[in-house]
């Protein structure tokens, strides 16, 4: 089995990077072939071009690589901070440019693009790790936590992925070293469990 792991955070010593390292190490330890990308390190260009509005493949070599890896992968892992109820722009651009038709979803041939899409990523597992500086109650009652539906329905659901997990670590700005270590242990356990279930 294979995994695609995508990280979006500009600061190399961020807790997001610690999550990324834990995810990659855990997957390696349980023998999952892992494609791992730090989008900032890759200097990924997140701006979808006019040409990419249709179904033509992108010219960008990074987009091509990420797309091939995504299609091959059984587990799609995304790691990012909650910025404005959304991923950082560099990851939003990964969604815009990599998760495109006809390989991740498509429309019936007689459809204008206004009908129901056909998801092409069925059977894959979506996994999201988020960091946040907002208390849980305020996130859920005031902001309505847009990332929950963005990942679960707008991205994974749209492409036919039914099984997904999302874990939020907060409040990062006020967290202790011990809490962070504990969170990384939770990630290791969760990933191991998800893979075990899938192997059955």
The pair phi, psi for residue 169, each rounded to 5°, is -110, 125
CB of 95 to a second copy, least distance (A): 5
Of 31, 174, 176, 177, the one binding a second copy by CB under 8 A: 174
Of 30, 48, 118, 190, the one binding a second copy by CB under 8 A: 48
Question: Is position 55 an interface residue for a second copy (rule: CB under 8 A)?
Answer: no
- Binding part of the chain for a second copy, among 10-18, 70-78, 118-126, 191-199 by CB under 8 A, reads 10-18
Using CB under 8 A as the binding rule, the residues of this chain from 125 to 144 that contact a second copy are 133, 142-144
Question: Is position 172 an interface residue for a second copy (rule: CB under 8 A)?
Answer: yes
Tokens of 149: 């539906």
Cα gap 6→20, rounded to integer Å: 8
Closest to 4 in 3D by CA, of 30, 31, 37, 38: 37
Question: Is position 161 an interface residue for a second copy (rule: CB under 8 A)?
Answer: no
Using CB under 8 A as the binding rule, the residues of this chain from 88 to 127 that contact a second copy are 88-90, 92-93, 95-96, 99, 112-114
Burial class (CB in 10 A: 0-12, 13-18, 19+), 42: middle
Rounded to a whole number of angstroms, the distance between the first and last alpha carbons of the chain is 13
């Amino acid at each position: 089995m294979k995994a695609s792991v995508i990280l979006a955070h500009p600061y190399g010593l961020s807790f997001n990077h610690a999550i990324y390292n834990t995810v990659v190490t855990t997957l390696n330890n349980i023998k999952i072939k892992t494609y791992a990308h730090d989008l900032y390190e890759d200097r990924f260009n997140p701006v979808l071009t006019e040409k990419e509005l249709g179904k033509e493949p992108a010219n960008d070599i990074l987009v091509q690589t990420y797309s091939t890896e995504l299609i091959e992968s059984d587990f799609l892992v995304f790691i990012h901070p909650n910025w404005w109820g959304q991923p950082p722009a560099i990851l939003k651009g990964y969604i815009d440019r990599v998760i495109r038709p006809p390989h991740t979803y498509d429309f019936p041939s007689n459809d204008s693009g206004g009908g129901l899409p056909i998801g092409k990523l069925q059977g894959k597992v979506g996994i999201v790790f988020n960091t946040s500086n907002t208390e849980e109650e305020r996130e859920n009652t005031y902001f309505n936590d847009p990332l929950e539906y963005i990942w679960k329905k707008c991205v994974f659901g749209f492409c036919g992925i039914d099984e997904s997990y999302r874990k939020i670590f907060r409040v990062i700005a006020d967290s202790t070293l011990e809490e962070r270590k504990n969170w990384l242990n939770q990630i290791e356990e969760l990933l191991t469990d998800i893979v075990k279930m899938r192997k059955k």
